[in-house]
Chain A
Amino acid sequence: MKAEWKFERKRHSQKSRDPMQASFFTNASIDDDTHALVREAIQNSLDARVDEKQPVRVRFAIEEHSLASNVMSKYLNKEAWKHFNAADNGLIDPPTETDDCRYLVYEDFNTHGLIGDECASEPSPGNSFYYFMRAEGQSGKDEGDRGRHGIGKYVFPYTSGIRMFLAATVRHSDKRVMVAGQSVLKSHHVAGQQYTPDAWWGVFQKEGMDDYFQLPSEDPNTFSEIINDFDLKRSASDSGLSLIMPYVHKEVSGKKIAEHVASEYFWPILSGNLEVDISVGKKSWVVNGNSLTNKLDGLLGKSKSEELKPFIKLANRAILEDNLTRVDLSLNSKIGAPKWVDSYLAKNNSEKISRSISEAGGLVRIKCPLYVRKTKEKESESYFYIYILKDSEDKQYCTRFLREGIMIPDNRSSKVRGYISMVVVESGHLATLLGDSENPAHTEWEKNATKFKGKYSWGPSTIDFVRLSVSKVIKLLNQSDSEEDINLLSDIFYIDLPESDEDVPKTRKESKKPNNSGGDNNPGEPTHIPAPRPRTYRLNKHDNGFSLIGPENDFDGQREYTIRIAYDLVGASKSKALKKWHKNDFEIEKGRYVGKPILDNVDEFYCEGNLIKFSASTNEFSVVVDGFDPNRDLIVDVKSKGVLNEEV
C-alpha cells in the first residue's frame, strides 16, 4: 500500500489546538533551534543504544532538492500543500510547492529504532514507536534514561518550515523496516473545513464509517525509495532511526550543528560513546575524540573554540589519565540531607585536593557520596564526581554539569576564578533524582518540577548540594589554608634579583668567566651605563673592624653621618640583624667588647650602643672602630646627608 497524507477533520467536539511544545525549548540556555535539535536528537539516540561496547553513531546532513528534480512531489501532493499554505496554520512565511527543498537528515546507528507494537494506541513500556509517533507529553523512557518528558521529539518537526518530518526505521527487535511521516501545525482551515493540527503520512486502516487508524508503511520499495531520494546511509540491516526534515529553516547550518555537538556532547564523544558525522553538500566534518582534541579551531572557529578548550582538556585528562589524583569522600555518618560541612571534606582530603590543584595543570577527581531516598522508601547510596583543574590563565569559569552524558547548563551556579570544573553524575539513584527535576529542555534542575516535587526526601537539598558542590569544595579547601602561601601572588608581587657575588672568591669568578665572544653584538653588554652616584664616604674593612673615611673629592658645606653596627645573625637579613643588636654584643660609648672610635676631622660626635653620629666639613675625615669579634660577620650601615637638606 502506498503511503499518503491524511489531515484529520476537526469534529465539533474537539478543541482547537496550538501545539505549545516549542515553547519548552525557548529558554536562556538554548541558543537557537539547532541547539535544541542537537541536544534532543542525540540524547534520544544515546538512550536507544544497543551495543554498549560500540559507540552510538549519528549523522547530520543538509542537502537540497531542486524543484526540477521532482523528488519532493513524491512526498508532498497538492492536497498537502493546501494545508501547509493555509492562512491560519501558524506557519510564518512557509515555503510553497514551487520552492526548492533544502532538507536536514538525522540518522542514528547502533540504536534500537522505533520498536514496540506499532498498532498500539495506549502507552506501554518499551514501545518507542508509540511514544515517538502517537504520544504528546508522554515518554516511555525509564528512570536512568536521559530524556523523560516526551517533549523532545517536537524538535524534529519544529526544524522544518512546514513542521514536518519523515521517519524511516529499522527495528533491532524484529528487523522490520517502517516508514512514516507527520506534520504538526495549528488547528487550521482549508476550503472552509477546519482540521486538527496533526497529519500523518503513511498507510491507513479503516475503522467504522469515517474513522481510520494511522500506520507506518512497511513497503520495502517505499523504504528503498526514501533511502535513495534523501541519500540516507541506512541499509535494511542497520538498526536505528532516520529522520528527514524538509524545508529546513535557513538558520540551521552545519557550522551550528558542529558547534552544538562539540559543546554539548564532548564528554560522551571523548569517552568513546558517541561519534558524529556532519555534512553539508560535499563538505563534511567528523566530530570525534581526535577532532575535538586536535582540530577544535577548525571545527568551531577560534572564538568558540577558546571557550570550550579548557573543558575538552579537562574531560580528556579525566577520561584518559590513569594516574589522576582521586579523592573519595566519606558518607556523612548520619543518614539525611547531604550537607557541605567540615566533616564531609575532612582535613586530610582537603589538603590532598589543595596539593593536587595548587599548580597550573593540577587535576583532581573528587567522589562525593550521598544518600538518595524516595519518599516512604529505604535510602540508597549514590555519588557524583567533581573534576577540578587548575587553570593556568586565571580566568573565571562556570561549572559544567553532566547528567548521564547530557550537559545541564544550569546558569545559576556561580563562576569560579582560576579553576575549570565539571560535575559528572553517572547513571544511578542521584541521576534519576536530578533527571526527575529537570525541565523539558533538560537545562535546569527545578525543585518544583512536577515529576520531582514530593517524590524524594531531601530532594531540594540534594539539588543544592550538587549545584553548589564546586564552590563549596573550594571554600572548604580553606581548612588547609592556615599556613602562609608564598606562591599565590608570585605572578603579581615578585622581584627578579640576581644572585649577589659578595664573598665569592676571585679565583672562582676568573675560572668561570662567561664567554663574551659575541663581538660588538654581545647582548650581555649594556649599551648605556649611567654615571655612578657621587660618593660621600668610603667604608673599608680592617682586621677586627672598619674605617669610614671621606670621599676622594671634597664636598661643599657640611655633611652629617649616621653609622649603625651589629653582628650578623644566622638566617636573618642585614636589617633584622641591626635591629637585634644587644648591649652584650658591644657598647661603643663604653668601649665594652669593642675599641673606642678613633676620630679625625669630625664635629658633633655622638655615640651610644651601636650608633655613631657625627658631622664633617671636609672630605679628609676618618672614623676608625676596631676590636670586634673576628669570628663573626659585622653589619655596618652608613647614612649621609647634607646639613642644608642638600641631598646627594
Chain B
Amino acid sequence: MKRFNYTGRKKILKQDIRIRLHGDFNEPPVVDFQVDLEGYDFQLDAEVFLEAWDVTRFMRFKVGKVSGSIRKNNIELYDFDDAENLSFNIKVVDINSGGVLLGIAEKVMPNDKDNLPDKNYKSILPVASTDLSSYGVLWRVEWHDENAVLQVESELGNREQVVRSNIFRAFIYPAAMRQILMKILSDGWDDQLEDPDDLSTRWLRFAEQLGAERPVPDSDNEEWLDTAIRLFMNKMDIREKIIDEFSEGGWN
C-alpha cells in the first residue's frame, strides 16, 4: 500500500526532535522543545509550530522560523492536567502560500525530566474493564477505529489482576489473538506492512516478530494461524505450568 505525497511535504524524523518534560508524567506538563532542521532544506521564512494533543485536548505554539536548530524552553501546557497520553506534532508551514505544510513529524512522545523516553511503551492490545453482562461473557474483543481492544468484565475486579492471571494468559490470550488474526485474514491486510497505525500491520508484524511468516493472500491460512498461536504460546511458556497446576487439582 503506497501513499503518494503530491505536495512535497517532508517528514521530520523523531530523532531530530527532543521534547523534555520538567516533571513526572502525572504532573501538569511543562516542556523544553528542540528540533534540528539541518538537512531538510526548508525555506527559511517558514514557520515552525509545536502542537500538543491527547484524546480530547489540543494546544498549538509558534516556536520560530526555520533554522538549523530551534529551541524553546518552559512551554507550559496549561490545558493539560498531566502528560499521561500526551503527544506532539511538529509542523513547518509556509504561511505566505496559504499555509502549505512543508514538513511534519507526528505522534512524538515526550521524554521525562531525565531525558528518558516514557517507560510505558504501548501495547497492540489495549485492555478495558467493561460491563459485559449484556453479552453474557466475561471477556471479548471489541473493534473500533484501528484497534482491537480486550474487554474484561469489570465485576471480575482489577483488570491488571485479571489479565495477568495464569488462567487468562493460558486460555484467553491465544483465543483473543486467534480472533484478531482471523478478522485480519478475513478483512485483508496491507502486504507492505509499513503503516504502524494500521491494525493488520501491527498484528502481522507481531506475528513476524514471533517467528511466523506472512500469511498467504486468498488462502484459508489455517496452518499459518496455528503456527502463529503456537509460537506465541511458546513465548508465553505457560502450558506446562498450567498442566502442573491442574494436575494438582486446579480444576477443583
Contacts and interface: CB of A to CB of B under 8 A. Distances in A.
Interface in B122-143: 122-130
Interface in A489-529: 489-490, 492-497, 499-505, 507-512
Nearest to A491: B123
Nearest to B1: A637
B66 to A, nearest CB: 13
B157 A543 contact: no
Contacts of B10: 503-505, 508
B154 A489 contact: no
A633 B4 contact: yes
A355 B7 CA distance: 43
B45 interface: no
Contacts of B9: 503
A546 B26 CA distance: 47
Interface string B155-167: 0011111011100
Contact of A482 (B39, B124, B129): B129
A508 B12 CA distance: 9
Given A508-B13, A574-B198, A488 B159 contact: yes
Interface stretch (A203-211, A310-318, A624-632): A624-632
Contacts of B188: 639
B52 to A, nearest CB: 15
Interface residues of A, number: 70
Contacts of B130: 482
A487 B120 contact: yes
Contacts of A497: 196, 205
Interface in B39-83: 39-41
Given A475-B157, A489-B163, A508-B13, A575 B190 contact: yes
A221 to B, nearest CB: 63
A572 B217 contact: no
A631 B189 CA distance: 27
A490 B121 contact: yes
B170 interface: no
A490 B147 CA distance: 14
A636 interface: yes
A578 B130 CA distance: 30
B39 A512 contact: yes
A635 B2 contact: yes
A497 B192 CA distance: 13
A190 interface: no
Interface string B201-234: 1100110010000001111000000000000000
Interface string A386-424: 000000001000000000000000000000111000000
Interface residues of B, number: 70
A360 interface: yes
Interface in B5-24: 5-7, 9-15
A638 B2 CA distance: 8
Contacts of A450: none
Nearest to B209: A495
B173 interface: yes
A418 B164 contact: yes
Given A496-B209, A503-B9, A573-B146, A568 B127 contact: no
B35 to A, nearest CB: 12
Contact of B197 (A483, A507, A573): A573
A493 B161 contact: no
A612 interface: no
Contacts of A508: 10, 13, 39-41
Contacts of B13: 499, 501, 504, 508
B5 A503 contact: yes
A641 B216 CA distance: 11
B244 interface: no
B149 interface: yes
B145 interface: yes
A474 B209 contact: no
B185 interface: no
Interface in A340-359: 355-356, 358-359
A360 B215 CA distance: 36
Contact of A510 (B39, B146, B163): B39
A417 B122 contact: no
A634 B6 contact: yes
A486 B123 contact: yes
Given A501-B11, A503-B11, A544-B6, A477 B158 contact: yes
B202 A495 contact: yes
Contacts of B5: 503, 633
A507 B123 contact: no
Interface in A597-648: 628-639, 641, 645, 647
Nearest to B235: A492
A180 to B, nearest CB: 52
A539 interface: yes
Nearest to A509: B39
A478 interface: yes
A51 interface: no
Q: Chain A CB within 10 Å — which of B5, B216, B217 has the most?
A: B5
Contacts of B165: 417
A108 B20 CA distance: 55
A575 B198 contact: yes
A309 B180 CA distance: 40
A485 interface: yes
Contacts of A637: 1-2, 190
A541 interface: yes
Given A484-B127, A495-B205, A543-B6, 6 more contacts: A493-B124, A508-B40, A568-B3, A633-B6, A639-B191, A639-B217
The 4 A-B residue pairs with the shortest CB-CB distance, nearest first, are A511-B39, A573-B197, A508-B39, A503-B11
24 contacts: A417-B164, A418-B161, A471-B157, A474-B161, A475-B157, A485-B160, A487-B120, A488-B127, A489-B123, A489-B127, A489-B150, A489-B163, A490-B121, A492-B173, A501-B11, A504-B11, A504-B13, A574-B3, A575-B1, A575-B189, A636-B2, A636-B4, A637-B190, A638-B2
